[in-house]
Structure 1
């Protein structure tokens, strides 16, 4: 990939990320005016992305299907085009909520996966794609932890109110309920990107380290499904109350058990340790 193409695609990646953040903000923060700039950012990202791919064809002289990295980049273009056309002509609203993060993740793969730092001692530095996966996943867990704390405060305050007492040291139920929803949503967005990169690493990376049977990635799915159910029920179905908070607590506990108690399978027991950020080459 030529330098001009890489720079152009990097700009497109940033625009896709901006679109994803705007669409997520519209959903989580109830900012209805963010939909239009999100769609514009997505469209501008598509235009810059196309320019980058055309530059690659002109400067490299290679076929559009020379490698899987280039093919995936074209698939991202097709995804964004289909999403924008469906929203405009089929009136399918809020497709950008899914298509923008997928476009960001899809373009991140061909840009970041080929980068290697052969002399690095840590796997996470040698393979930046894997390092970004770990960082995003851990940031997602931070969001889940904050949502868990808000859920616990909600339950304590709710119990006090049932007894006819108000704990003046704790926030109101509405405040803690909204905080739990927003923290869970932010954590879920980051965790989803991290999990997606982890799944891609299993099947699209060089393959020296993780295999398709790696349990840590697959056991992240229950955590993802629990928080996805919570966000749907709370954000779209409009459900509130203690049961929703117990769902947050269950998702957080599942995530902690997987994070701390499950090892990556590197095909070498000596190289497997519980916490991904500490992985080093032996």
Structure 2
């Protein structure tokens, strides 16, 4: 694939990411103009994406089905066009909330997954897809951490109020509740993208470095479910109270335990298990056993 084509597809990728972020602003902060801008940016991304495919066909001389990137690009563009048409012609709304992140991941895969830095010592540098997965997941953890702090402050202030003593060093219940909700929403967005990238890596990693299962990804699912339930109850059902805050605390506790205690085990070479922590630093290397 030519350099000009990759640059244009990279611009389209950024537009899909921007549309995703704008829809998150519309969802959690209720800015109506963000939804309009999200649609415009997403449509612009589709147009730029089509231009990138055309550049590839024109400069490389290959057919549309002759390269993995162009094939996946066709699927992504068709997916977006159908989704936008459904949203325009039917009563289904807010499809952009799902279309944009899926398009971002769909285009990111063929652009980033083939990239390799074989001389790098860390898996996160050697395979940039894995490095981006960890970085985006960490952004999700930052949001979850802020949500956890908001939930803890809410519970402490509520306990003080039950005793008839307002804690002047802590924010009001409404402020703590808003911090919990907004931080959980932002963290959930990044964590979902990171989890999706991890799942794609698990099933499509070169050399099957993680084998058939990966404990770290499996244990991330309870955290995702916990925050999804909280956001649904708080954002859709408009529920309030301390029980929802305990859901946040539990989900974040599972995330911390998974992050600190469960390492990845990569098979760098046949018969050489290689363990890396969450930050990609090697923690142990076992040499293969020799048998007589």
Q: Give the TM-score taking structure 2 as reference length.
A: 0.92
In the alignment, what sits opposite 2:181? 181
2:278 counterpart of 1:275: yes
2:116 counterpart of 1:116: yes
- Unaligned runs of 5+ residues in structure 2 are 286-292
In the alignment, what sits opposite 1:39? 39
2:281 counterpart of 1:249: no
Q: How far apart, CA to CA, are the structure 2 residues paired with 1:132 and 1:208? A: 18
Q: CA RMSD in A?
A: 1.7
Q: How far apart, CA to CA, are the structure 1 residues paired with 2:200 and 2:70? A: 15
Residue 46 to residue 279, structure 1, CA distance change in 2 (3 Å): farther
Contact 1:123 1:280 in 2 (8 A): no
In the alignment, what sits opposite 1:52? 52
Deviation string for 1:180-211 (max 9, x for gaps)?
01111111111111111111111222135222
Q: How far apart, CA to CA, are the structure 1 residues paired with 2:106 and 2:259? A: 25
The structure with the largest alpha-carbon Rg is 2
Contact 2:216 2:264 in 1 (8 A): yes
Q: How far apart, CA to CA, are the structure 1 residues paired with 2:175 and 2:183? A: 12
Secondary structure in 2 aligned to 1:272? Answer: strand
Residue 200 to residue 183, structure 1, CA distance change in 2 (3 Å): same
Q: How far apart, CA to CA, are the structure 1 residues paired with 2:183 and 2:137? A: 14
2:167 counterpart of 1:167: yes
In the alignment, what sits opposite 1:200? 200
In the alignment, what sits opposite 2:136? 136
Residue 259 to residue 247, structure 1, CA distance change in 2 (3 Å): same
Give the structure, 1 or 2, with the largest relative contact order (CA under 8 Å, sep 6 or more): 1
Contact 1:122 1:279 in 2 (8 A): yes
Q: Is 199-208 or 43-52 further displaced after alignment? A: 199-208
Deviation string for 1:25-77 (max 9, x for gaps)?
11111212211000000000000001101111222222322344432222211
Q: Find runs of 4+ consecutive structure 1 residues off by over 4 angstroms.
A: 279-282
In the alignment, what sits opposite 1:21? 21
Q: How far apart, CA to CA, are the structure 1 residues paired with 2:256 and 2:284? A: 25
Q: Give the TM-score taking structure 1 as reference length.
A: 0.95
In the alignment, what sits opposite 1:151? 151
- Unaligned runs of 5+ residues in structure 1 are none
Deviation string for 1:232-258 (max 9, x for gaps)?
111111111111111111110111111
Contact 1:123 1:281 in 2 (8 A): no
Q: Is 83-92 or 62-71 further displaced after alignment? A: 62-71
Q: Is 261-270 or 137-146 further displaced after alignment? A: 261-270
In the alignment, what sits opposite 1:82? 82
Q: How far apart, CA to CA, are the structure 2 residues paired with 1:131 and 1:33? A: 34
Residue 80 to residue 135, structure 1, CA distance change in 2 (3 Å): same
Contact 1:122 1:281 in 2 (8 A): no
Q: How far apart, CA to CA, are the structure 2 residues paired with 1:281 and 1:119? A: 19
Q: How far apart, CA to CA, are the structure 2 residues paired with 1:197 and 1:280? A: 23
